[in-house]
Structure 1
Amino acid sequence: MSVTSKRPEPSRHFSMIRGLHLADLFTLGNAGCGMASIFLAMVFVGSGVTRDFLVATAMAPLALVFDIFDGKVARWRRRHSAMGRELDSLADIVSFGAGPAAMAFAAGMRGGWDAVILIYFVCCGVSRLARFNITAETLSSGSDKVKYFEGTPIPTSVVLCLVLAACAWGERLGAALPGGALQVGPWILHPLVLLFAVSGSLMISKTLRIPKV
């Protein structure tokens, strides 16, 4: 008597998209806002129209709304997955890492030291999210929720975007950036970019613990 083994069903077209949960769609909305902010920052560099820059900065708070609701929807529907966690981190680095850095560059922080600090800021964000993904299970102590953050969460960079929006609203972009520009050795430094250095350093801190509400 022969035993017929059942062949696995072939993967359907767009099977990955079909497998996304509702919370994952909110996460992708977060990433979409991040990419929109980068595109709008580039549009502003070409157009010089303040409105384009203000819309770019508005994408960060909108991305934060999506970021908040993806977690709420996941808890409401009781759907948590490793893929969802990875999606969340990848979306965050676009919206709250690369996006703010692109806006700062578009705002006029284009000196050599500015570029180094903005790259440092993004690298800190990437490192912080990678560390969170690795340690999330340990920090949750067996529960579904992480009790505290090690270092500031990357969405706190929304504050930096609001600072840039205030500069744009007050027509303080480019050569009029608050703090002006300094010649430090071979390169230019805009003191305002130091806010990004501080933000990045706080993100990778292991001693700073912030309770998660």
Structure 2
Amino acid sequence: MKQIPNLFTLTNLFLGAVAIVFALQTQSVLIYTNDEFASSFNIPENLSVAALLLFFAAVVDFLDGFVARLFKATSEMGKQLDSLADVVSFGVAPGVIVYQLLRMSYAQEEMGLDVSIFLLLPAFLISCAAAYRLAKFNIDTTQQYGFKGVPTPAVGLLIASFPLILHFPSGFININEWLINKWFLYSVIIVVSWLMVSNLPLLALKFKNFSFKNNQPQFILIALGIVAVLLLRWLAIPVIFIAYIILSLLFKNKQST
């Protein structure tokens, strides 16, 4: 029984590793016209499959903690194993996805297929920040009802939503051009990396009880999330992410860090 939670954790790691394989098999499709190299751009299915695998990994990541508490099988080894799995699934795999999106962004430009790898490597700052964030979390015993810095899985899911937004665009807002814009992607790298390693006080989505007064930001975030998913499809993920940051800052005095 004690090893059952670890099996869930290893499944998380396995899904992250497979996601990396799919992301690396991406082949971009570009169609050029004579209008100053204007192009239409298709995001390959393999990148979307990689993104979906990360969402499955997040579900398994949630379940391993639940199962550990259910079987009273929490352990220091399980904690360390969970962080190692998260580095792969929500650190390395999202870094590869951003790497590929950057590569596709440059590929739209004239001679972009010959882009220097040094212009693409900043994507892995996300992976480094994720590893640092997880190590810091493991030695900090004060983050039970509040986080210091954005949790790595939250950033991983934000990045994973990008290929899915491109593949299944919302009917309300079209941000596809942003998601394959190199400057937007570089900005995302800087912002999410800083958010992970910072000491910004953020909400842990744990309920102390079922009182609305004591869990107001959590209930608001859930309500916003449901509405966003119904209206925006995969674009709901970035909206929920931004709402999470804003609500955390607005209700920071209610957090116990």
Q: Same fold (TM over 0.5)?
A: yes
Aligned length: 175
The equivalent of 1:16 in structure 2 is none
The equivalent of 2:158 in structure 1 is 159
- Matched ranges for 1:54-203 at <5 A: 54-109=48-103, 112-116=118-122, 118-135=123-140, 138-139=141-142, 146-157=144-155, 158-169=157-168, 178=178, 189-203=182-196
Q: Following TM superposition, by how much is the alpha carbon of 1:29 offset from its aligned partner in structure 2, in angstroms?
A: 0.7
Q: Structure with the greater relative contact order (CA < 8 A, sep ≥ 6): 1 or 2?
A: 1
Q: Following TM superposition, by how much is the alpha carbon of 1:45 offset from its aligned partner in structure 2, in angstroms?
A: 3.7
CA contact 1:23–1:70 (8 Å) conserved in 2? yes
Measured in 1, the distance between the counterparts of 2:96 and 2:200 equals 29
Measured in 1, the distance between the counterparts of 2:201 and 2:80 equals 23
CA contact 1:30–1:66 (8 Å) conserved in 2? yes
**AA of the residue aligned to 1:210:** L
Measured in 1, the distance between the counterparts of 2:56 and 2:152 equals 15
CA contact 1:53–1:168 (8 Å) conserved in 2? no
The equivalent of 2:232 in structure 1 is none
Q: Identity of paired residues, percent?
A: 28
Q: Following TM superposition, by how much is the alpha carbon of 1:150 offset from its aligned partner in structure 2, in angstroms?
A: 1.0
- The structure whose Rg is larger is 1
Measured in 2, the distance between the counterparts of 1:169 and 1:52 equals 14
**AA of the residue aligned to 2:142:** L
TM superposition score normalised by structure 2: 0.61
- Structure 2 segments unaligned to the other structure (5+ residues): 30-41, 107-114, 170-175, 207-257
Measured in 1, the distance between the counterparts of 2:100 and 2:58 equals 21
Q: Following TM superposition, by how much is the alpha carbon of 1:212 offset from its aligned partner in structure 2, in angstroms?
A: 4.2
CA contact 1:64–1:155 (8 Å) conserved in 2? yes
Q: Match of 1:178, SS?
A: helix
Q: Match of 1:38, SS?
A: helix
RMSD, matched Cα: 2.5
Q: Following TM superposition, by how much is the alpha carbon of 1:131 offset from its aligned partner in structure 2, in angstroms?
A: 0.4
**AA of the residue aligned to 1:207:** L
Match of 1:36 among 3, 10, 18: 18
- Structure 1 segments unaligned to the other structure (5+ residues): 1-18, 141-145, 171-175, 182-188
Measured in 2, the distance between the counterparts of 1:113 and 1:151 equals 27
**AA of the residue aligned to 1:154:** T
Runs of 4 or more, structure 1, over 3 Å off, are: 45-49, 108-114
Measured in 1, the distance between the counterparts of 2:129 and 2:102 equals 22
1:79-136 Cα deviation digits (max 9, x unpaired): 11111001100000100010011112223447634422x222111111100001111x
TM superposition score normalised by structure 1: 0.73
